Structure 1
Amino acid sequence: MSALARSHRLLSPLLPLPRSPLVSRLAPPLLRDPLATKSFSSKTPESKGEHDEAKPLGKVSGIVNSILHGSGSLPKMQSQESWGVSLARGKYVHELQNHRIKPERYDDYVQLVSEAFPRIVKESNNKIRLTGSWATEIGVLDSAVHIWEFEGYAGHAQEMDRLRKDPTYQKFIKDLRPMLRSRDNQICLEFAFWESRPPVALGGIYEMRTYLLKPGNLLEWEANWRRGLECRRQFCEPVGAWFSQLGGLNYVHHMWNYPDLETRKKTREQAWKVDGWAETVYNTVRLIEHMEANILLPMEFSSLK
């Protein structure tokens, strides 16, 4: 055996073994021949032909990713606009207003809105309807909640334009601002399965429950709550339910009426005994980022009281 042959035989265990193109493509960078590895970012026109056979890499890595993590395709998600079409009653738009009042100006505030809000409704020729106005009894104190109803977005835009040109309304806003610590609003739609009650005197207390959902969970929340509502309806009729479209997003609000807190307690305990209610709670609580329950008392001029 020649000296050259003996030298090659001795060195051959140290030389890289031939690899199939698939193994070469999948091997981590540290296992590849460093002299043969080039990043895609450093490719030059001269070296284009050098990597032509590596084009199937995306397909192979996609197969591996599918094996490790499941299908790489993303589920088709409905947009928030299409959710509004599928979930909403569709006839009305509601504006939910929250006013946080300076404690020392609380009585002035009640007197001001008690005069202004009925006048706004009357002068609109019923194009603005006041679903209700409430003051917080338990929860965020020194605050008030007002829910207005408009005939769609077009009705809302038309009435807001009219009020901006109304000197009496502008004076009301000017007088209102110094009485408040803050105010915010949301444009909301009614859930199709939960129509808001018309004006009626129910008496007792109102509970406004507000949920901030994790983004993307509105459809699942609605499907579970639609079933769970039938469990609650055996003991208590809901007042209304809305989901936000403008302002703070991913919010759900629903309202209940009870004669008193003791009746509320018993009603909620009874619901737990009905098949399906525990499942509804289990399926919806994991969808929630934050939740709160405020006990409200209707103001004297409220259409729901």
Structure 2
Amino acid sequence: MSLRPTLAPCSACADSLPPLRSHCAWRKPRHGVCLFALRLFSFFAFRSRRNVVIVSCRGRGRVKGAGLVARVTRHLQFCSLCACCGPQVLCPRGQASGCAAMLGLRALLLRRARGAWACPQVHASLATGPRQNDGTFYEIRTYDVKPSKMKEFVELVNKHIHLRAAHSEMVGFWTVEFGGMNKAIHIWKFDNFAHRAEVRKAVANDKEWQGKLSPVLPFLNKQNNEIVYLVPWCEIGKPSKEGGVYEMVTFQMKPGGPALWGQSFRAAINAHLNTGYTKLIGVFHTEYGLLNRVHVLWWNENPDSRAAGRHYAHEDARVVAAVRESVRFLESQQNMLLIPMPFSPLK
């Protein structure tokens, strides 16, 4: 028994049915049924283990999308095939009644077809990509330091951080100048979660480091960490020279993930980057922490050059257009000006 649908003209009511013609890219020139709709019918017919015969009418008109499927199926009835009776073609104005199961299948097809056109697929440019598949991720740690202990904290970290850096790769270590006070931010790189677990175990067993760490802990008001991935279209950048300042801009995007806002966000970042006033260091998307959050790290020679570049960028029509598109998906944003510590790999 064949499971492929057949296409046949309707002889009973071709003259009375509304004109129908498909303007889809895939069309059968001699019949009005869109082959895309035909393939959908074929798929669901195969899933239901039933054969269907599709009846169509010739004529003229213009039907697109789900409306085409609706108008086609409105004039069809279906009947299952068995080994005894063989195929049957049933017209809505014919005497035979369609199989109830196949009528239910028609309703299911309509619901799925309408949903497919209502919710088009969007490329998730920030979603899992090659650099994420290899397991590499980054941990961003933020420490809130007691105001009276900030100076001592910086001195002790500067003196002993090499003991911690011996266990895993440090990307950068900064103190916050603007956008927050008495804060320290540092980023660490890990090959995968098993690697991080091994590092944390080694750090806990490092008696020398633990001895130096104990006096620092009372200086802290709060600690926070996030697990982030570097987005697939970005690599960790390096400043053109040592010195300068860094800006970390944090975007809280609307729920829905990169499939909703990824392309617009990337376009806005590239628009700023193309102005040439700043250097992109990295774009990080949260995996653990507050979700739908993106951290963008920039480098500038100094705060004044950064201010002048931003002013120039906001007069660029391309930047304005890209930002207007991306802010539709934005809930909030915050930025901080960061000063690198002397031992930071990113200076």
* TM-score calculated relative to the size of structure 1: 0.68
Q: How does 1:54-73 map to 2 (within 5 A)?
A: 71=115
Cross-structure match for 2:143: 99
Cross-structure match for 2:163: 119
Cross-structure match for 2:323: 281
Cross-structure match for 2:299: 257
- Cα distance, 1:175–1:206 mapped onto 2, change above 3 Å: same
Q: How does 1:223-238 map to 2 (within 5 A)?
A: 223-234=263-274, 235=276, 236-238=278-280
What is the percentage of aligned positions where both structures have the same residue? 24
Cross-structure match for 2:186: 146
Q: Is the 8 A contact 1:90 1:192 kept in 2?
A: no
Q: Which contiguous aligned blocks of 4+ residues in structure 1 show a shift greater than 6 angstroms?
A: none
Q: Tell me, what secondary structure is at the counterpart of 1:224? A: helix
Cross-structure match for 1:219: 259
Measured in 1, the distance between the counterparts of 2:143 and 2:240 equals 23
Q: Is the 8 A contact 1:138 1:296 kept in 2?
A: yes
Equivalent position to 1:268, from 301, 305, 310: 310
Q: CA deviation at 1:86?
A: 6.6
Cross-structure match for 1:3: none
RMSD (Å), alpha carbons? 3.4
Equivalent position to 1:190, from 199, 206, 230: 230
1:290 aligns with 2:332: yes
- Structure 2 unmatched runs, 5+: 1-99
Q: CA deviation at 1:176?
A: 2.5
* TM-score calculated relative to the size of structure 2: 0.60
Measured in 2, the distance between the counterparts of 1:172 and 1:187 equals 25
Q: Tell me, what secondary structure is at the counterpart of 1:212? A: strand
Higher RCO structure (Cα 8 Å, ≥6 apart)? 1
Q: Tell me, what secondary structure is at the counterpart of 2:342? A: coil
- Cα distance, 1:115–1:193 mapped onto 2, change above 3 Å: same
Q: Is the 8 A contact 2:238 2:281 kept in 1?
A: no
Cross-structure match for 2:343: 301
Q: Tell me, what secondary structure is at the counterpart of 2:214? A: helix
- Cα distance, 1:86–1:130 mapped onto 2, change above 3 Å: closer
Q: CA deviation at 1:201?
A: 4.6
- 1:115 counterpart letter in structure 2: K
Q: Is the 8 A contact 1:96 1:147 kept in 2?
A: yes
Most deviating of 223-232 and 241-250: 223-232
Q: Tell me, what secondary structure is at the counterpart of 2:157? A: helix
Cross-structure match for 1:110: 154
Q: Is the 8 A contact 1:231 1:274 kept in 2?
A: no
Q: CA deviation at 1:297?
A: 0.8
Q: CA deviation at 1:144?
A: 0.7
Deviations 1:112-144 (A, max 9, x none): 2112322222x33xxx11111111111110101
Q: Is the 8 A contact 1:203 1:259 kept in 2?
A: yes
Q: CA deviation at 1:149?
A: 1.2
Most deviating of 190-199 and 141-150: 190-199
Q: How does 1:31-46 map to 2 (within 5 A)?
A: none
Measured in 2, the distance between the counterparts of 1:179 and 1:198 equals 31
Structure with the higher helix share, 1 or 2: 1
Measured in 2, the distance between the counterparts of 1:189 and 1:204 equals 25
Measured in 2, the distance between the counterparts of 1:209 and 1:173 equals 29
- Cα distance, 1:175–1:84 mapped onto 2, change above 3 Å: farther
- 2:145 counterpart letter in structure 1: I
- 2:312 counterpart letter in structure 1: Q
- Cα distance, 1:280–1:89 mapped onto 2, change above 3 Å: farther
- Cα distance, 1:189–1:177 mapped onto 2, change above 3 Å: same
Cross-structure match for 1:210: 250
Number of paired residues? 242
Measured in 1, the distance between the counterparts of 2:262 and 2:134 equals 15
Q: CA deviation at 1:200?
A: 7.3
1:239 aligns with 2:281: yes
Measured in 2, the distance between the counterparts of 1:299 and 1:204 equals 11
Measured in 1, the distance between the counterparts of 2:149 and 2:269 equals 39
Q: Tell me, what secondary structure is at the counterpart of 1:253? A: strand
